[in-house]
Amino acid sequence: MSDALQVAIEPTRDEHLAAAVQSVGARIVGLGEARILVWIGPPSEFPDLPDHVEWVALKTAGIEDFVTAGVIDNRRIWTNASGFYAENVAEHALALLLAGLRQINSAVLRHWDKQPIDTAVRSLHSSTVAIIGAGGIAASLIPRLTASGARVIAVNRSGRPVDGAAVTLPSARTDEVWGQTDHVVLAAPATAETHHLINAKSLATLPAHAWVVNVARGPLVDQNALVAALRDGQIAGAALDVTDPEPPADDDPLWSLPNVIITPHVANPASGLTRVMAPFLAENLRRFAAGEILLSVVEPGRDY
Amino acid sequence: MSDALQVAIEPTRDEHLAAAVQSVGARIVGLGEARILVWIGPPSEFPDLPDHVEWVALKTAGIEDFVTAGVIDNRRIWTNASGFYAENVAEHALALLLAGLRQINSAVLRHWDKQPIDTAVRSLHSSTVAIIGAGGIAASLIPRLTASGARVIAVNRSGRPVDGAAVTLPSARTDEVWGQTDHVVLAAPATAETHHLINAKSLATLPAHAWVVNVARGPLVDQNALVAALRDGQIAGAALDVTDPEPPADDDPLWSLPNVIITPHVANPASGLTRVMAPFLAENLRRFAAGEILLSVVEPGRDY
């Protein structure tokens, strides 16, 4: 790139993104000279944009807060990080599901309590796992699950068959899933349609050995119904990276149930975002320079 | 099978194995009439065998105790369950590795302690995992690891390339592994050669972010050296399904280290053995009736 692209990384410098910019021969400049802004701060600190900024790259997958803050305009290209972190979230979902099935939580809490743990261990292989919201995370999760010997039921909006899934259902038929699956992974955006998707009725239909994994958003689960189902043994357990509210209150019964695993919203660790984003930024800079379509362009009117 | 095979299941009846016998049209009889004995008891209770018993099927993968007790003769075929439980053990190894990398243990113990957990989470994808003892467990584990985006270094006796591994090394070159891998999974039998394979020297060579997973046997690890390395932060953590001794003493420092996950030797749950064994028994009965070579025939002189 002889005519170096001018890129601002704001509001703080970041070594991973700086290396990505330099790796494609672009040049790091201040906002006053930039054609491209890589914004890694919060919406509240977002600057007034000079007209010469043609593309703003945001580091998060969900950009609800930027939409709400009104910073996204239609005078340039905006990209988010949708899909960049799918491998990470898929890996965490697999870790949570296996931790539940293999009783890692009981082992951590109870020490060599062999008999009850031995009889409670379940296998992922030969089981069926339903993924609700079969997008980028599911695309990364399905090969992991099938390599682990599980069969996958995917649920997406259209019902268009998902690669690697044994069955794909449209979201309008989600209620058919509960009686056909061993376990559930929630990976859908939080919308009116997905609100309390896991509720008293779905929990009552799931098998007693089911684990429910949530790496999406807390409101997909009716948490009171979940607590009741976990207490009554309607399902085997829940492994949650997200809750509602987040974190749960100190006296939330979730904390004291033995069949719950809670990780503090770290499926995609905030501390590692820019490291994971860096190669995608480099690819998008290459595409920008070549006049190609960028990855993860924000579609106006879609806020997730 | 019109001329039904006569099979004894001793010393107790087992529903899974009985169903397997019946599924191939064989008949369950007492030992006095049996051509085949399926023995699911301990070596100490092993009966005197009538000459008409042509094949004894044992339910464990390791049969050291039967060899030591002198019950294995050369007057008939003996099979063990070598390889039958590989999927289970591989799944547990993956669960332990992911639980460590994704900080499930810290989350279980500390609750929503977001900042330290967020920064401690590591990814299996884009990492290198060495499997020491690349036999049946590795054959099941490698596809799970590669589907999770990891690169595998396999170590076996011969150094003959292992399917799916990026690199295979002979066990004589094991010491080269520690500096080339991110994480280690131990899946080798306990022998003089593998005794204290993980020791002060290998621990000092592994990277500081390394997790060591043991689903093999406790004596492969010099536990005092491991405790010292975990205390000093020489490695990130250890996830152990086996220990030395087993279980660790109540005052063993392993129990109190935050970067240790211990499961009580449940990679292959004892309570589920016959359920997992059942389809293999059915297949072997079919082979026996057809005069084919059986799965997992015990080779005289090999005691693992």
Neighbouring residues of B250: CB distance < 8 A, sequence distance ≥ 6: none
Backbone CA torsion sign across B130, B188, A103, B147? positive
Report residue B63's pLDDT band, with 50, 70 and 90 as the boundaries: confident
- Give the pLDDT of residue A192: 93
Per-residue pLDDT tens for A58-92? 998 878 889 889 999 999 999 999 889 999 999 99
- CATH superfamily name and code, A6-84+270-290: NAD(P)-binding Rossmann-like Domain (3.40.50.720)
Token representation of residue B51: 């000459």
B23 Cα to chain A: minimum distance (Å): 19
- Residue A301 predicted with pLDDT over 70: no
- Give the pLDDT of residue A61: 82
- Give the pLDDT of residue A302: 58
Q: How many CB atoms lie within 10 A of CB B13?
A: 10
Average confidence score pLDDT of chain B: 94
**How many percent of chain B have pLDDT more than 90?**
90
Per-residue pLDDT tens for B233-280? 999 999 999 999 999 999 999 999 999 999 999 999 998 899 999 999
Q: CA nearest B267 in A: which residue? A: A102
Token representation of residue B203: 């621990």
- Give the pLDDT of residue A111: 86
Residues of chain B with Cβ-Cβ distance to A114 below 8 Å are 247, 264-266
Report residue B4's pLDDT band, with 50, 70 and 90 as the boundaries: confident
Number of residues written out for chain A: 304
Average confidence score pLDDT of chain A: 94
The interface predicted TM-score (ipTM) is 0.89
Q: What is the mean pLDDT of residues A128-155?
A: 97
Phi, then psi, of A95 in degrees rounded to 5: -60, -45
Per-residue pLDDT tens for A194-244? 999 999 999 999 999 999 999 999 999 999 999 999 999 999 999 999 999
Distance separating alpha carbons of residues A143 and A164, to the nearest angstrom: 7
**How many percent of chain A have pLDDT more than 70?**
97
Domain covering B86-262, topology? Rossmann fold (3.40.50)
Is the Cβ pair A118, B94 closer than 8 Å?
no
Q: What is the mean pLDDT of residues A162-187?
A: 98
Q: What is the mean pLDDT of residues A150-177?
A: 97
Q: CA nearest A268 in B: which residue? A: B118
Per-residue pLDDT tens for A106-125? 999 888 999 999 999 999 99
Token representation of residue A166: 């044994």
- Residue A303 predicted with pLDDT over 70: no
B245 Cα to chain A: minimum distance (Å): 12
Residues of chain B with Cβ-Cβ distance to A264 below 8 Å are 107, 111-114, 117-118
- Give the pLDDT of residue B2: 43
Q: Where in chain A is the domain with CATH 3.40.50.720?
A: 6-84+270-290, 86-262
Token representation of residue A121: 């261990």
Task: Specify the long-range contacts of residues A224-232, CB closer than 8 Å, at least 24 apart.
Answer: A225/A196, A225/A198, A225/A199, A225/A200, A226/A198, A226/A254, A227/A253, A227/A254, A227/A257, A228/A200, A228/A203, A229/A200, A229/A203, A229/A204, A230/A257, A230/A259, A230/A260, A231/A257
A263 Cα to chain B: minimum distance (Å): 5
User: Cβ(B282)–Cβ(B62) under 8 Å?
Assistant: no
Q: What is the mean pLDDT of residues B6-17?
A: 96
Suggest the residue from A112, A214, A262 to mutate for an interface test with chain B (most B CBs closer than 10 A): A112
Phi, then psi, of A71 in degrees rounded to 5: -85, -20
- Give the pLDDT of residue B302: 57
- Give the pLDDT of residue A304: 46
For residue B45, give the 3-state DSSP assignment.
helix
User: Who among B87, B117, B149 is closest to A264 (CB)?
Assistant: B117
Q: What is the mean pLDDT of residues B160-167?
A: 98
- Give the pLDDT of residue B83: 87
SS3 assignment for A113-176: CHHHHHHHCCCCCCCEEEEECCCHHHHHHHHHHHHCCCEEEEEECCCCCCCCCCEEEEHHHHHH
- Give the pLDDT of residue B1: 41
Strand partners, B152: B129
Is the Cβ pair A112, B143 closer than 8 Å?
no
Is the Cβ pair B91, A118 closer than 8 Å?
no
- Give the pLDDT of residue A2: 43
Neighbouring residues of A231: CB distance < 8 A, sequence distance ≥ 6: A253, A257
Distance separating alpha carbons of residues A116 and B253, to the nearest angstrom: 24
- Residue A129 predicted with pLDDT over 90: yes
For residue A223, give the 3-state DSSP assignment.
helix
Distance separating alpha carbons of residues B200 and A258, to the nearest angstrom: 36
Residues of chain A with Cβ-Cβ distance to B94 below 8 Å are 98, 148
User: Who among A113, A125, A269 is closest to B91 (CB)?
Assistant: A125
Is the Cβ pair A114, B264 closer than 8 Å?
yes
Residues of chain B with Cβ-Cβ distance to A273 below 8 Å are none
Is the Cβ pair B113, A264 closer than 8 Å?
yes
Suggest the residue from A108, A115, A211, A275 to mutate for an interface test with chain B (most B CBs closer than 10 A): A108
B4 Cα to chain A: minimum distance (Å): 30
User: Who among B114, B147, B269 is closest to A264 (CB)?
Assistant: B114
Q: CA nearest B121 in A: which residue? A: A269
